[in-house]
Structures are given as structure tokens and as C-alpha cells.
């Protein structure tokens, strides 16, 4: 089976991209898959959420994308077995600008990943909340896009722009890219709003929408400050259960035996 490379993207901020990269990654690792989280966001939330001290890093995605550092040399193990992270620091903010004038600027991540792909079953790319060059690198390197959507007002705002960008990438950089998953996040079962948004998203995206829904949960928002995925921080919490459901469904979509 070839490695699935999943760009987790939504240019809307704070919808659960990094939380999903960390916790889907940990849940897949818990199911014996080898997983690499690539942090493409200068905020470095996936990096710190996985317990990596950004100040102590010798190299990070900035050096990988712009200084020719080998991706393998930047990768750090995490406290979760089989889960690894290619970390990001605030320096990566400069990459967005410095990349503009470099050769094959959209393909830097794709070529950096090439030699490492066979080490992992899944690569999850945590994209920043923009549609700039860092996200474009994510789309060019990916085999699919996972779109987290927060169950809040204006949930679908910007989604058509996102889909338009993905189509552009399909036409020019990466013919095989597909939106393979839409994930409802921060669902609040007590409100009609959450249910309304969920229904709207399911109507718009149909089967692409995962049945697993991530609830709004304080534990999920606390875990990053301990540098741990929910799976080890609070394994019996609703958030942990939801991400395990998601991982099961994710694997069913990716590893179904089709008699080939």
C-alpha cells in the first residue's frame, strides 16, 4: 500500500486543524500505524501539542524547505510510539515570503517528503490558516485533503474559496489530489446550531463527511498545554473516543480490501 499523504486544511482559523493532526495521528499510531505529522504552520501548534520544545530544535521545517536540510534529520519522536513530527517554529513565517523567489517553490515539501514516504503508513500535514505558499506546498505534496469544519456560525464561509484553490492545484500541480474527508469539529450536542451546521455540511459534502463527529470538549483544549495527545492525556474522555472512532473510519476508507 502506498503512503497516504493528507493535507489538513481550512483557511479559516481555529477550526481544529492542529488538534485533528495531533489526535488523529495519535489514534492511528495506537492502531499500529506509523504516522508522521508535518507541521507547516509557523504557529507550531502541532509541534508543541506533541510535546516538542520548539526552542531546543536544531532544525525544523524552515530549514527543510529553504536550507536543503534532510527531512529525516528534522523529524522528532513523540511520547506516543510510532508517532513522529516534523516540527515547525516561528521561523517558518519567513518561508512564506522567501519561497516566492525560489525555484519550484510549490514543490519543496513534495520533494522533501519523497525519500521518507516509505517509512510511514500515513503522513498528516497540518496546514496554516491561509491559502498561501505553505498550504500550496501541502496540497502539492498530498494525495488528499481533510477539511475540518467547526460546528459554528459561518462554518461554510470560505469553503468555496478553499475548494476553488484545490481545483486549481488539481489542474496545475497535482492531478491526483482529492477531498477525501470532511470532519465536523467542536460539535455541541446541546445547541440546535451545531445540529443545523452538521446537517448543512452533510448535505453539501455528502459521503465525504466522516460519520465520526468531534465534540466540543474541555479536555481536548487542555491536552496541548501538557504536550500530549488526548489518547494519553485523557483516554476515556469523549474527545479521545471520538478521535478513535475517526481513526477507525479513516482506516476503513484507506485500507479496505477490494480484491485487487
- How far apart CA 213 and CA 151 sit, in angstroms, is 10
What are 8's strand-pairing partners?
Answer: 126, 146
Of 116 and 159, which CB lies nearer to ligand ATP in the complex structure? 159
CB of 114 to ligand ATP, least distance (A): 26
Stretch that binds ligand ATP, among 41-49, 66-74, 76-84, 97-105 (CB under 6 A): 41-49
Q: Which residue is nearest to Mg ion (CB)?
A: 18
Nearest approach, Cβ of 24 to ligand ATP (angstroms)?
11
Under rule CB under 6 A, residue 229 binds ligand ATP: no
User: Counting every residue, how long is the chain?
Assistant: 260
Comparison of 74 and 217: residue with beta carbon closer to ligand ATP: 217
Q: Find the shortest distance in angstroms from Cβ 92 to ligand ATP.
A: 12
Q: Measured from the CB atom, is 20 or 208 closer to ligand ATP?
A: 20
User: Does residue number 185 form part of the binding site for ligand ATP (CB under 6 A)?
Assistant: yes
Q: Sheet holding 4-8: strands in order across? A: 76-77, 83-86, 35-39, 122-126, 4-8, 144-150, 178-187, 209-215
Closest to 149 measured CA to CA, from 14, 5, 4, 6: 14
Shortest Å distance, C-beta 162 to ligand ATP: 13
Residues lying near Mg ion in the complex (CB under 5 A): 17-18, 45
In the three-class reduction of DSSP (H, G, I as helix; E, B as strand; rest coil), residue 171 is classed as helix
Closer residue to ligand ATP, CB minimum distance, 111 or 238: 238
Residue closest to 242 by CA, chosen among 170, 184, 159:
184
Q: Taking CB under 6 A as the criterion, which residues in 66-105 touch ligand ATP?
A: none
Q: Collect all residues with Cβ–Cβ distance below 8 Å to 121 and sequence separation of at least 6.
A: 1, 3, 4, 28, 33, 34, 35
Binding to ligand ATP by residue 224, rule CB under 6 A? yes
**129 contributes a contact to ligand ATP by CB under 6 A:** yes
Find which of Mg ion, ligand ATP, none residue 235 binds, CB within 5 to 8 Å per kind: none
* Residue 93 near residue 134, CB atoms below 8 Å: no
189 binds, among Mg ion, ligand ATP, none (CB under 5 to 8 A by kind): none
**Least distance in Å: CB of 73 to ligand ATP?**
25
48 binds ligand ATP (CB under 6 A): no
Contact 198, 213 (CB under 8 A): yes
* DSSP-assigned letters across all residues of 46-99: HHHHTT--GGG-S--HHHHHHS---HHHH-EE-SSTTEEEE---TTHHHHHHHG
Is residue 155 at the binding interface for ligand ATP, with CB under 6 A as the rule?
A: no
In the complex, the smallest distance separating the C-beta of residue 85 from Mg ion, rounded to whole angstroms, is: 13
Amino acid at each position: 500500500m502506498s503512503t497516504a499523504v493528507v493535507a489538513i486544511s481550512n483557511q479559516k482559523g481555529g477550526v481544529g486543524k492542529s488538534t485533528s493532526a495531533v489526535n488523529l495521528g495519535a489514534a492511528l499510531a495506537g492502531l499500529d500505524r506509523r504516522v508522521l505529522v508535518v507541521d507547516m504552520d509557523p504557529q507550531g501548534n502541532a509541534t508543541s501539542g506533541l510535546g516538542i520544545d520548539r526552542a531546543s530544535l536544531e532544525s525544523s521545517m524552515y530549514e527543510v524547505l529553504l536550507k536543503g536540510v534532510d527531512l529525516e534529520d528534522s523529524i522528532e519522536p513523540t511520547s506516543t510510539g510510532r508517532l513522529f513530527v516534523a516540527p515547525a517554529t516561528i521561523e517558518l513565517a519567513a518561508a512564506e515570503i522567501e519561497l516566492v523567489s525560489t525555484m519550484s517553490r510549490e514543490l519543496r515539501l513534495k520533494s522533501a517528503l519523497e525519500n521518507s514516504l516509505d517509512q510511514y503508513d500515513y503522513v498528516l500535514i497540518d496546514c496554516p490558516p491561509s491559502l498561501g505558499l505553505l498550504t500550496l506546498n501541502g496540497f502539492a505534496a498530498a494525495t488528499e485533503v481533510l477539511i475540518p469544519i467547526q460546528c459554528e456560525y459561518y462554518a461554510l464561509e470560505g469553503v468555496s474559496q478553499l475548494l476553488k484553490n484545490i481545483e486549481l492545484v488539481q489542474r496545475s500541480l497535482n492531478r491526483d489530489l482529492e477531498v477525501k474527508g470532511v470532519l465536523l469539529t467542536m460539535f455541541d450536542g446541546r445547541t440546535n446550531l451545531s445540529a443545523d451546521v452538521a446537517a448543512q455540511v452533510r448535505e453539501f459534502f455528502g459521503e465525504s463527511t466522516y460519520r465520526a463527529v468531534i465534540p466540543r470538549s474541555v479536555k481536548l483544549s487542555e491536552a496541548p498545554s501538557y504536550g500530549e495527545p488526548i489518547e494519553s492525556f485523557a483516554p476515556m474522555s469523549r474527545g479521545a473516543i471520538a478521535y478513535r472512532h475517526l481513526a477507525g473510519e479513516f482506516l476503513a476508507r484507506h485500507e479496505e480490501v477490494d480484491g485487487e
